Structure 1
Amino acid sequence: MAKLPDNIPASSVQRELSIRSESIQRIYNFYINHLFYVNRRYQRKLVWTIEEKRAFIDSILQGFPVPIILLAESEREKFSVFEIIDGMQRLNAITSFIEGEFEINEKYFDLETMVESKSLLDQDILKQKKPILERNLCEIIASYVLPISIYSFDNDEKVDEVFRRINSNGKHLSRQELRAAGATDDFPDLVRKISNEIRTDTSASDVLLLNNMKYISITNANLEYGIKVNNIFWVKNNVLTKEMVRESKDEEVVAEIVAYMALQPEVPRSSSEVLDEYYGLIPGPRGIDIETALRRKNPDVIKGQFVKVYDEMRRILDESGRKFNELLSNQNAVPRYFQVIFLSFYELMFIERMQIANRRGLVDSLMNISQNIDITRGGNWSSSNKTKNIKAVKGIVRDCFKPSEREDPALDSWLTEFETLLTQSKTEQALYDFKQGFTKLDGRTEFDQDNFDKIIKTLTAMANHSPNSTGYVCVGVADNDNDAKRVESIYGSQCVEYKGFKITGIDHEATRLKGSVDKFFGWLKQKIESQPIQQSVKSSIGRNIKLIDYHGREVVLFKLSAGRDPTAYDSKYYERIGANVEEIKFSEYNELFRRFS
């Protein structure tokens, strides 16, 4: 992390409010020095459109006053940093405009206007886009003074309370965003995690640099990064509109489904007031009831079951070649219809312990099924109407299911989980690594032992990142287009793309090396035993290795979590710096072991 700017005190906690004014140039200096953090526990999504960003920059250019930015001062790694309480969208608009991610009046910010942006231009970190906005206008923007309020807090609860209070008039946040703001119990936490995975704006940590938020921003513009709102499951399938997702209506749908799963055999009614109670926004017994039910059933179990049902619904839609509303023959946004189908599958799969036996038949059964669903309109959805419609759908699709052959069908839920892992790698690069395969691309198709050794060494380096870290190495995901094309030319196997990742799979080489993927996977687990690491580490890697079928491509996932002590490889300790694995010097051992103690 860069040295703290001179006028930022690194002193201990101050209770009083500090009001200051900072120029945009100074704000950008803080940004590139990694001083702005976002806490996703209470902060909403990064959802401003390009048009909204342009309008904000235009206000600055014309000298109009803008709302105050509220920050909470805290300390990370012995440096004073700022958690953004209010103003994340505005700060992102400023920094993204400076870095040329959008233009105003069809012209881009002149990077030579400020020392900081010129330095990044000279280092080839930023590229100057053209046409360039007039220098005098860029100087007006760089010198514009933003009002800043800085608080220092002695606990997170106070930050949460401030966030809720400044948004309590409902003008800044939607009702669901206000419910979720600062809510940290099991129910809101589970709903948030599931919602993030479905929107694919998930992150490995709740606290992120503002610099990394763009990778999981939701946009309707043709940017090279971020999440296209039209590609989000809810919008793509006309379950919800883009505006509904911006208002976090997707989280309301997830919350109602989770409540149903947690409170079984009770069937809860759905309404805005009921959700308010679940989240503790208004007092009532439902908040206590939902937390008690979740602790009894285990949030992780419910999450696994939810994702498994969601994965099956995705596979059915892929099989049908239709959007969700088209399959049902309904032209409107259909959130309650989605809940009925989802919960019908959930009851068959997890209450009655069945599994899908005929996916094609299931698609045919769901065609035009909206004719057999009679959902009441209005803000209140009764328990009786919900129950009646779920029973009706179960009766129609039951013949496409059979008794489950697995003890826990949630265990192989990895379609969405794998995509989540790929997304998280963009914001936590040190803990993720990708390899195109286990063989070199020289045409000889021989197992690359050096590459396998490096995989295990990389895992130990990731485990040394911090006491709570977990590292992942995915084999079957190409680093670049050239490798993906080379795999295709050697094996005749085309890759599957996801958000810029090229999933090549390892089935082609596994078949050549050992005759089948299953035999190769078993042989691979044996190879771990010959590695120069402690037996407990071998056991952990062997226990957690997974073979993932991603749209017909088999990917091997290695995983290793940090232990109570640092993890050695061949009697040496390593750490991951960026994309590189570097040996830790003997003189740094004390610091390494102190980190874990």
Structure 2
Amino acid sequence: MTVSPQGLSIQTLYRLYCDGSLVVNRQYQRKLVWTLAEKQNLIDSVLKNYPLPLFLLAEKPPEHSHSVYEIIDGMQRLNAIFSFVGRERLVNEVKTTFSLVRSAIESQSGDRFFFRTTVYPKPTSNAQKSPFFAVFMAFHDLMFRQGLAPSNNAAILKSLNNLADRIQVGQKHIKTEDRRENIKVVSGLIREGFSRRDVAALSHGPGLVFDFENSIRRSKTETSRYEFKQGIVRLDSDRKIDQDLLEAVICTISAIANLGPELDGFLYLGIADKASDAERIVKLDSVKPVRFEHVDVVGIDREAKLLKLSMDKFMRILEDAISKSKLGDPLKTQVLSAMDVVTYKGFSVVRLRIPKQTSPTFVGNDCYRRVGSSTKLATGPEIAAITKQFN
């Protein structure tokens, strides 16, 4: 038996958990016995970026090319972490649902009473609580249980015309059964305005797909805070991992963090922002990119396939490159803990969130800065200017 210490982010562990890739052998594992206080203390340590004791996992023979890991030691800690992440996931689902309901309404009218006049056929002083609750829950069910996404806001709002005549609204309270029936009715009415989309990422990080699209839109005007890379494999005949590109990723992470203490930044792998790269990928990997706004989504699945690696092992290459780099802490640890994968229309895209910092970040003795969408090595006076931003 060989033991190989490896760094895995919480997002990676949670992804394995959601995929059913973490298993427990009840023959020797004790029951879950941690108290609430013990769980809270662990989460407090995680949020403060304190190091955790090692988790011991045994990699079992792959089943259908799907790696499975048996938890040998660390079950109590993993349960505490996954419980916390699960609650955060629900919060994100609620935020995402509310955001998309609001967007659907506002896309059709800026009138603050538009929803009321839509769902009630005649002027009324009745509260909007019952109709809105039914619409909200129907959106949530269609998105997070059925894997659909709003695609035609006009059709959705049109289907809600006179909704109050078709559901139970009541003057005060309605029964639980009536609420459930209301949700079913609304789901049936608005479903034609939704379409099937690959939102598998929502099971790992609810809202990531929608954040992903918003990031691409914002990158048009906030170019310095966003960086897109087609992947980590060279696009020439060599087709090997591009170590220079991995180093460039590290420098870019530092440069984006050095923009100042106001906002987060993002770096995506699996997006081509140059038409020439997208065309080259079509020829080399026989994939059809998905055009969104000004970029082409090409994913990193093709690279994992080329390298004959599972997605987990492919991600480990990126994690190792960051963890072994000279990127300064706490940024290094924060980036590793915030890595995630967005599944967008069949393509897996790696998202690296670069949280705002309280001081400049160096890569070894070097400091980097952003000039538009480019990363440059900072000179002495430029380092002084960067430092001044944080003061």
Correspondence list, 1:118-133, <5 A: none
Question: For residues 190-589 of structure 1, what are the structure 2 equivalents within 5 Å?
Answer: 194=99, 199=103, 234=104, 245=107, 247-248=109-110, 269-270=127-128, 311-312=143-144, 315-316=147-148, 333-335=158-160, 374-375=166-167, 384=173, 390-392=179-181, 411-589=205-383
CA contact (8 A) 1:307 1:413 kept: no
| Partner SS, residue 228 of structure 2 | strand
Alignment CA distance shift 1:317-1:567 (3 Å): closer
Unaligned runs of 5+ in 2: 1-94, 117-125, 188-201
Residue 446 of structure 1 aligns to a residue whose secondary structure is: coil
Closer, same or farther: CA 592–501 of 1 in aligned 2, 3 Å: closer
Distance (whole Å) between structure 2 residues aligned to residue 337 and residue 550 of structure 1: 35
Between the aligned partners of 2:244 and 2:252, the Cα distance in structure 1 is 12
Q: CA deviation at 1:458?
A: 0.7
What's the offset of the Cα at 1:491? 1.0
CA distance in structure 2 between the partners assigned to 1:250 and 1:309 by the alignment: 26
Q: Tell me, what secondary structure is at the counterpart of 2:215?
A: helix
Relative to 1, partners in 2 of residues 1:383 and 1:523: Cα closer, same or farther, differing over 3 Å?
A: farther
In structure 2, give the amino acid aligned to 1:194: S
Aligned CA distance change for structure 1 residues 515 and 590 (closer, same or farther; 3 Å): closer
Q: Distance in 2 between matches of 1:337 and 1:441?
A: 56
Q: Residue type matched to 2:109 in 1?
A: E
Range 586-595 or range 422-431, more displaced: 586-595
Q: 2:107, 2:153 within 8 Å by CA — same for their partners in 1?
A: no
Return closer, same or farther for 1:382/1:485 CA change in 2, 3 Å cut-off.
Answer: farther
1:46-104 CA-to-partner distances (Å, cap 9, x unmatched) read xxxxxxxxxxxxxxxxxxxxxxxxxxxxxxxxxxxxxxxxxxxxxxxxxxxxxxxxxxx
Structure 2: distance between partners of 1:306 and 1:545: 31
For 1:498 and 1:313, how far apart are their aligned partners in 2? 25
State whether residues 445 and 509 of structure 1, in contact with CA within 8 Å, keep that contact through their aligned partners in structure 2.
no
Cα displacement (A) at 1:528: 1.1
8 Å Cα contact 1:311-1:415 kept in structure 2: no
Q: Distance in 2 between matches of 1:306 and 1:522?
A: 38
**Is the 8 Å Cα contact of residues 434 and 476 (structure 1) preserved in structure 2?**
yes
Contact 2:226 2:267 (8 Å CA) reproduced? yes
Give the partner amino acid of 2:127: R
1:316 offset after TM fit, Å?
2.9
> 1:494/1:386 Cα in 2 relative to 1: closer, same or farther (>3 Å)?
farther
Letter matched to residue 99 of structure 2: I
Q: Verify the 8 A CA contact 2:259 2:369 in the aligned structure 1.
A: yes
How far apart, in 2, do the equivalents of 1:250 and 1:426 lie? 30
Aligned-partner Cα distance in 2 for 1:430–1:498 = 19
How far, CA to CA, are the matches of 1:555 and 1:417 in structure 2?
Answer: 13
CA contact (8 A) 1:433 1:472 kept: yes
Change (3 A) 1:574 1:311: farther
Change in CA separation of 1:323 and 1:561 when aligned onto 2, cut-off 3 Å: closer
Question: Over aligned residue pairs, what C-alpha RMSD do you find?
Answer: 4.2
Paired with 2:322 and 2:174, the residues of 1 have a C-alpha distance of 54
CA separation of 1:468/1:432 partners in 2, compared to 1, >3 Å: closer, same or farther? same
Q: TM-score, normalised by structure 2?
A: 0.58
Instruction: Judge conservation of contact 2:267–2:354 (CA < 8 Å) in 1.
Output: no
**1:410, CA displacement in angstroms?**
7.6
Match for 1:334: what amino acid? S
Q: 1:465 to 1:309 in 2, by over 3 A?
A: farther
Separation (CA, whole Å) in 1 of partners of 2:177 and 2:205 = 30
Change (3 A) 1:492 1:382: farther
Amino acid at match of 1:567: T
Looking at structure 2, the residues matched to 418 and 314 of structure 1 have their Cα atoms a distance apart, in angstroms, of 20
Write the distance in 2 (CA, Å) between the matches of 1:385 and 1:467. Answer: 49
CA distance in 2, matches of 1:306, 1:434: 35
Query: Aligned equivalents of 1:251 and 1:315: distance in 2?
Result: 30
Task: Measure how far apart 1:523 and its partner are.
Answer: 2.8
Give deviations 1:174-225, integer Å, cap 9, x for gaps.
xxxxxxxxxxxxxxxx89x936x975xxxxxxxxxxxxxxxxxxxxxxxxxx
Alpha-carbon shift at residue 475 of structure 1 (Å): 0.9
Larger relative contact order, structure 1 or 2 (CA cutoff 8 Å, min sep 6): 2
The number of equivalent residue pairs is 269
Which of these two proteins has the greater Rg computed from alpha carbons?
1
Provide closer, same or farther for how the CA distance between residues 493 and 569 of structure 1 changes in structure 2, counting only shifts above 3 A.
same
Maintained 8 Å contact 2:327/2:364 = yes
AA of the residue aligned to 2:144: E
Task: Find the aligned partners of 1:306 and 1:420 in 2 and give their Cα distance.
Answer: 23
Q: Pairwise mapping of residues 170-209 of structure 1 onto structure 2 (< 5 A)?
A: 194=99, 199=103
Mapped partners of 2:265, 2:317: distance in 1: 22
Q: Is the 8 A contact 2:271 2:296 kept in 1?
A: yes
Give the direction of change, closer, same or farther, for the CA distance of 1:251–1:532 in structure 2 (3 Å limit).
farther
Q: 1:443 Cα shift? A: 3.2
Q: Give the drift of 1:565.
A: 0.9
**Could you list the runs of 5+ residues in structure 1 that have no partner in the other structure?**
1-189, 200-233, 235-239, 255-267, 276-304, 341-372, 398-407
CA contact (8 A) 1:308 1:410 kept: no
Check whether the contact 1:478–1:484 (CA below 8 A) recurs between aligned residues.
Answer: yes
1:521–1:547 contact (8 Å) kept in structure 2 = no
1:9-48 matches, cutoff 5 A: none
Separation in structure 2 between the aligned mates of residue 483 and residue 498 of structure 1, nearest angstrom: 15
